[in-house]
Structure 1
Amino acid sequence: MVMRQKIYSISAAFLLLFLTVFSSFPAFAAGGLEFYTDYPGISVKAGDSQTISMYVSNTSGSGLDADLSIVSIPDGWEGYFSGSGSQISRVHVENGAESTVTFNLEIPEDAAEGDYTVQLQATSDTELTDVTDLVLSIQEVQYGQGSFEAEYPEQEGASGTAFSFSTTLVNNSAADQSYSLSAQAPAGWQVSFQPSGESTQVASIEVAAASSEGLTVSVTPPENVEAGDYTIPISATSASDTLETELTVTITGTYALELSTPSGLLSFDAHANRESDVTLSITNNSNVDLQNITLTSSAPTDWTVTFDESSIEVLEAGATQEITAHVTPGDSAMTGDYVTTITASCSETSDTAEFRVSVKTDTIWGIVAIVIILALVAGVGAVFKKYGRR
């Protein structure tokens, strides 16, 4: 019994000594060489090209060279190692360090759905080896209806503004598609399509399978467009798909009023204290109707200006209305040129026209003056004739 206890005591002492000695050494990974990746299981698609970062860690106690190899790979798949832009088969790793290499994998287009394993190996010149398994899961791609969408489908601005819509055309089919592009715009509107980042206008565009392309849609309304909301349907049509979306443009009001005469002539003749008529033309160049347009004037002292209509209740966009102005120079107006100003205005806009008025002297007064002068001359002559002989 005593002997057995001694044996137990000696065994315990040796075990404690063993643990104490070996616990003073640093802990290394098994074999001193480790070959791994951060993501050993990933989802991929048939036809993919994958680049996977792999790490070779050395804790062997000295630097080493490690051979890199593919232990197993599915039929039809291709892979190789690369580093610094070149294909490699070996990597050097200093003790206590880690080197990064890239494993390049090409998956065939006809790869079926399922899980696949690629086994990779790193073997040092000191016969240290580590193997890692990459598990790649191919899932069936879910194809469906494509889409044609605008980032901001509603915009607003004044007439004459060029609108630009950023759109994305998505091909969700399993095959490349060629899409014809079209728009149904109101008469006089211009619509064009440009690939994103380009200035070239296109009528069609190629979109690869399960991918998308950006398009810029430029919309320009005519100069005389009326204020309001306008909807412009656009579409992309391929042999198997028709994708549609709508763009909305809101044209805000622009206001412009023009005052002139039907002939455009802004001058006329007049006589003192006599009324002269001038036909005015008032044109609404706005894209909205104008209301309560009033006519006012500014003329020389003692002149009068009246209108057969001093206001217009409503003048539709693009319409012209004629009104007669009656201008009467004052009694004392001398022969010469004068300026009379007429203004058409409403709450939104106005326009002013300056008229040059040439005041003329009546011819009859000149004739009367000549007759008087001749009469005086004749009278004087008669007096001299009668009394001159005496």
Structure 2
Amino acid sequence: MKGMKNLLKKLGGAAATAIALSVFSLSGVTYSYAAEGIDMSTDYPGIMAKAGDSVSFELDFSSLTGDSYDVDLSVESIPEGWTGNFNGSDGEITRVHVDRTAAASDTSLVTFSLSVPEDAQVGTYEVELLADAGGDYSDALTLEVTLTEQENGQGNFSAEYDSQEGSTGTSFSFDTTLNNNRSSEQSYNLSADAPDGWQVSFNASDDSTQIASVTVDSGSSQSMTVNITPPENVEMGEYTIPVTAVSASETLELDLTVEITGTYDVTLSTPTGNLSLDAYANAEKSVTLQVTNNGNVALQNLTFSSDLPTDWEVSFDQSEIETLEAGQSVEVTAYITPDQDAITGDYIATLSISNDEVSSEAQFRVSVKTRTVWGIFAVVIIVALVGVLGFVIKKYGRR
């Protein structure tokens, strides 16, 4: 045994250690010694991903010698087009301090972030990391990433604001976006299911031309404007217009909502639109009026009024309209009586209809004519004279 000790002294530390380990192993006692000095590991060295993904690995470090080290970190090998970096708590790093008391079970010190390119093919790839503490103390770690087929994602049809409101006569424009999440180009046919009388059109956001279809590249989007015009006589209420984009692979739907607020409007006229009439002094003249509800809300308690020349009179066969539905018309007869002393000429008679919400008026030009009693007597006298003269001539003849 003494000779063995002398031999170990002559051979030096490294060789002596090797011989000593061999001897002790042969004697039935097994010793292990890690020459690397540090250990770099991760709980999940093999993961699944898809092209275009970004993945990360939490790295643990431990000292195997009982000493502390400042360890250099590097990527020894990585697939072409892939990128990776080491990150600590405050950002990207190149070195990490491993305390002599650090153990693999401690909280991860470093995160290795890996970006997979969009065009990466399906398969298994390896990334090799190196932790170097200097001298013979280093450790390598191989990470394995298996890329699977890119799943076909469902597209999306959305609007910045899918609900708008306005009164009758308002046109609505919705800014929408059509996303193609499929792995191939998609051609979408555009359509809308609108109520009768409504008009819907599609325009590309960068062009005023109307379109009926649009082609969207894989992973891209297309902005569009959907224009909706309700009919003039639309009733107040909320309307939902389903808009659809259909390709060979999918059907995308978007519900747009339009709320029509109350609009009050009434018109007073005649069925023919003629606002002129003839009348005689102190004689009643009838005229047929037409009242039309041009709004989208029923009108209640409509009453008539007038503005007439002095001492003229007017009456209505229906002084009040209790209810007039939206878009409906009703006829009412007015009776106008000029003053008994009215002289021949044109006069303005204004008739109106109103309630708390609306009003309308119609100005009539009334041409007044007078009947002359003396004229009638003159005609009678002339006729009588002609008769008498005829009688005299017939009876006495010519002598």
TM class by shorter chain equals: 0.5 to 0.7
Give the structure 2 partner of residue 289 of structure 1.
298
* Residue in 2 that maps onto 1:266: 275
Q: CA deviation at 1:147?
A: 2.0
Give 2:361's match in structure 1, choosing from 349, 352, 371: 352
Residue 310 of structure 1: aligned partner = 319
**Distance in 1 separating the partners of 2:128 and 2:373:** 120
Matches of 2:303 and 2:236, distance apart in 1? 23
Secondary structure of residue in 1 paired with 2:335: strand
Moved >3 Å (runs of 4+):
43-48, 70-74, 105-109, 111-119, 135-144, 369-376
Deviations 1:154-187 (A, max 9, x none): 1111222221112222223222222211111112
The unaligned stretches of length 5 or more in structure 2 are 1-47, 54-74, 83-115, 131-142, 386-399
The yes-or-no answer on 1:213 pairing with 2:219 is no
Seen in structure 2, the aligned counterparts of structure 1 residues 268 and 223 have a Cα distance that, compared at 3 Å, is same
How do residues 198-237 of structure 1 correspond to structure 2 at under 5 angstroms?
A: 198-237=207-246
Mapped contact 1:272–1:333 kept (Cα < 8 A): yes
More deviation in 344-353 or 207-216?
A: 207-216
**1:265-317 CA-partner distances (Å, limit 9, x unpaired):** 11211122211111111111112221111110111111111111111111112
**What is the aligned partner in structure 1 of residue 86 from structure 2?**
none
Structure 2 equivalent of residue 67 of structure 1: none
With normalisation by structure 1, the TM-score equals 0.62
Given that 2:121 and 2:147 are in contact with CA atoms closer than 8 Å, whether structure 1 keeps it comes out as: no
- Matches of 1:243 and 1:361 in 2, distance apart? 77
The answer to whether the 8 Å contact 1:257/1:351 transfers is yes
Q: Deviations over 1:24-49 (max 9, x none)?
A: xxxxxxxxxxxxxxxxxxx996379x
Deviation at 1:366, TM superposition (A): 1.4
Which residue of structure 1 aligns with residue 377 of structure 2? 368
Q: Which position in structure 2 is the counterpart of 1:46?
A: 51
The alpha carbon displacement at 1:199 in A equals 2.1
Aligned residue type for 1:244: E
Paired residues of 1:44 and 1:136 also in contact (CA < 8 A): no
How many pairs does the alignment contain?
275
CA RMSD of superposed structures (Å): 3.5
Task: Provide the residue aligned with 2:71 in structure 1.
Answer: none
CA–CA separation in structure 1 for the residues paired with 2:331 and 2:166: 32
Which residue pairs with 1:96 in the alignment? none
In 1: Cα distance, 2:339 partner to 2:160 partner: 67
Of 153, 163, 187, the match for 1:154: 163
**Structure 1 pair 283/136, CA: closer, same or farther in 2 (3 Å)?**
farther
Task: Provide the TM-score with structure 2 as the length reference.
Answer: 0.60
Deviation at 1:137, TM superposition (A): 6.7
Residue 110 of structure 1 is matched in structure 2 by 121
Opposite residue 254 of structure 1, the aligned amino acid is T
> CA, structure 1 residues 198+45, in 2 after alignment: closer, same or farther (shift >3 Å)?
farther
Q: Distance in 2 between matches of 1:351 and 1:199?
A: 39
Amino acid at match of 2:51: A
Segments of 5+ residues of structure 1 without an aligned counterpart are 1-42, 49-69, 80-104, 120-134, 377-390
Written as runs of structure 1 = structure 2, the 5 A alignment for 1:116-135 is 116=127
In the TM superposition, what whole-angstrom CA distance separates every residue of 1:171-223 from its partner, at most 9, and x where no partner exists?
23222222211111112211122233332322222223233332221111122
Which one is further off, 110-119 or 155-164?
A: 110-119
CA distance in structure 1 between the partners assigned to 2:378 and 2:353 by the alignment: 43
Equivalent of 1:196, from 188, 193, 205?
A: 205
Whole-angstrom CA distance in 1 between matches of 2:170 and 2:129: 59
Which of 168, 176, 181 matches 2:177? 168
What is the aligned-residue identity percentage? 55
User: Counterpart of 2:321 in structure 1: which amino acid?
Assistant: I
Residue aligning to 1:184:
193
